[in-house]
Structure 1
Amino acid sequence: MPTIHELATQAKAAADRLGIRKFDIYGSAVDETSVKVDQGKPDQVKASQRSSVTVRVWNEENTMGITSTTDVDPNGLELALKTAYEASFFGVKENVPDFSPEATVPLAKLITEKAPQAPVADLLEKLIGVEKELVEAHPAIASVPYNGLAQRDIDHFYLNSEGASRTEGYSLSSIYLYGKTEEEGKKPRSASAFRISRNLEELDIDGCLKETLEKTVSHLNYEKIPTGKYRVVFSPEAFLSLLGAFSNLFNAQSILDKQSLSTPESVGTQIASPLLSVCDDALHPENVAISTFDGEGTPTRKVPLITEGVLSGFLHSAGTAKRFNAQPTGNANIGAKVTVSPHFYHVFAGQFTDQDYSLDTADNVVLIDDLHALHSGVQALQGSFSLPFDGWLIHQGKRTSIESATVAGDFLELLKSIIYVEKEAHLTPGGVCPYIWVDELSVTGE
């Protein structure tokens, strides 16, 4: 792919030839290698280079057209500009997207160096070794049917006709393991773990292996759970997946589209226990997929969403910020329609409580490790959910795997029923979060 300077020069020259005065371009490129193994042999090896460029053009009537392409040579760029210009005459007349007022504001200075990619043979050797170690660690573990080790180089850029020019690049490595048991007379049980880091050397492969082993073995001796109301503890992954399913709470575009549990007047209202605080923080030091600007070139930042239980802000694009008379937050994705999405959640304790809770001494408490079927079990506009889960029933600190069960409730009531936010935070792919204790939720056994 050409450099950002070359792209800007080529785009300006093509725009001048076409008589286009106002345009912007956002692009990304991913160079990825991933491997999967099956019973000690390579099962799948993938290598791909993907790039995408989105071009927006405004005409003399200030309506906008948009197109996307993977062809960024001068001819491809000129064709994209021409196509977007022609489309602009069919663009919306109201609330037309515009340049972000912060597209030229200096970015946060972060050191994000790319790591050298390891040979495929090394990836396969590591993953085969991990699979072998996991299967041999316990006689009940029969296989690791789903697994993967991947490394990626990612680049983003943004430029516009008013002189904005931004680029960033970083590397990621990740591993996923899913162990499955087979015992005579018992149902197959399974568990998984995931790790991500900025390079393969720092990737916690041993930690992923250990977590998968411990979780899988802990599900071997399972029992049915009586249907009823239980105090529930959500793992960081489970709580963040539920928070993500109801992210319309903080999404300014969803609010404007009337597809949210919030309204413009909701800011400042108490929506959760004072013990809970939540931010979206793309620049969090634990975020390995760090992004310093969004699809409109707006710098990313720490955005308070819930502060001690109070709804304190929304996620904005340049367009939603203008309509809310607010500042853009760096959460825009450009496409046929500008959308808004979170980067990296940071969940932490708001107010502190004198009461401490511990899983080591908990009694008659359900610990939810992983939620399933969020695509079908969440009613995001009603605020309700009914989801199958993997987890344990804890009696006097002893964990017993739950054979099969569903947890149900109202998300806003859940937020207000939080009785404890543990102090220790845990890194997950979606953010940083501690274990979250909820006073009571309905659990339906098999």
Structure 2
Amino acid sequence: QLGEPSSSSAIPAKVWQPGVDALEDGEELQYDPTAYNYFHQFVSIGCPFLSFDVVRDHLGLVRSEFPHTLYGVAGTQTPKGTPNYVGIFMLSNMKGKMPRPDGECDMDGDSSSDDEEGTKDTMQLKKVAHAGSVNRIRSMTQKPHLCATWGETGHVQVWDYSSFLNSLSDSGMEDKVIHKLVPLKVFSGHKDEGFAIDWNPLVTGRLVSGDLTKCIHLWEPTSSNWNIDANPFVGHSKSVEDLQWSPTEADIFASSSADKTIAIWDIRTGKKPCIIMKAHNSDVNVISWNRLANNMIASGSDDGSVSVHDYRLIKGVGSLAAHFKYHKKAITSIEWSPFEASTLAVSSEDHQLTIWDLAVERDAEGEDEFESKMQDHVKAPEDLPPQLLFVHQGQKHWKEVHWHPQVPGMLVATGIDGLDVLMPSNVAATLAYLDGWARAKP
């Protein structure tokens, strides 16, 4: 029996700081269930997924009522001799806490402890063979059944997974067969493998892919396939790490690189970047273009720092709107919320997944009042940035995190042990100084 943070009979819990605190003999991490409207770890997925994407569905554009259903695609990185595959999956019967008008929450089924047959969270997985590890996978916004994969073999491929998505059900039955499928398109024009790939949100089928040899190729859709420009966009001095299309301008995209820069490109004006700026003091691993405040581009670096750049100021004195050095290791994924313009999710190699709200500012008077009300709860360290709203742990080596585009507040993340699906509670946003994880002795 682990002690609850608010329990007077339990040993007082302490906020856990990765990279700062160490576990003593007999100690173990314990998450605070009051900090979540929903949390479940799906571990029975076979090999670890390096990359995944949430697939848009027809169940509703904005969904708030439990139970929830989620569709996704994910790619594996298997040991040598074991076949890789793309997993097409459905998570269903995800039950959680429903907020009441008084601000409290009612439980609509606790999925993490509900073992009654037919009422617990279920996962159905279809496997489709893929040559080599899947470095990155992305589902097209306009046609979600079409997905692009970047493989360690150096090939970028486009697949039609519609038949597998349509065959998924909430039975939770495991499909152990690895199915064969012929891709719609295979591009072997990259000189090396890569990770950077993005579908254009405004032009159906338009795609960019970037590799470790600094080259970016443009895919233009035709009536039946794609024309891929063999003449690449070149402007970085090191590998292209990530790509993001502008959410409002169909011909503009951004790239990040191991050369510490972010570049802005216009496909109408040639193969050189329009703007290139130093963004970090180390490799810029990932970027995210804000679709609600389209002047903002967030970036995450190999040194653990996160920056937000104002696109309107790039040509001026400086574009930096915010900079955070909280994480202890490399940033592996970053993504703006599709529902809150100031909210950002970040994953890191320091085994933390964090949520930030850039609209929050420190208020000393408010903090004193808050702490007096929360004296029975866990007290977090004083040096945490006020914009840091939530910290989620429990897995090692987080690789990617994505917001669900149709379920406000739902996050999905992949790590070494499987997929985590979580929805921090509305209380968690208010209690900005309470960590989602504490430690206590059994």
Give TM-score, length-normalised by structure 1.
0.26
Q: Which has the higher helix share?
A: 1
Higher relative contact order (CA 8 A, sep 6+): 2
From the CA coordinates, give the structure whose radius of gyration is larger. Answer: 1
Q: What is the TM-score normalised by the length of structure 2?
A: 0.26
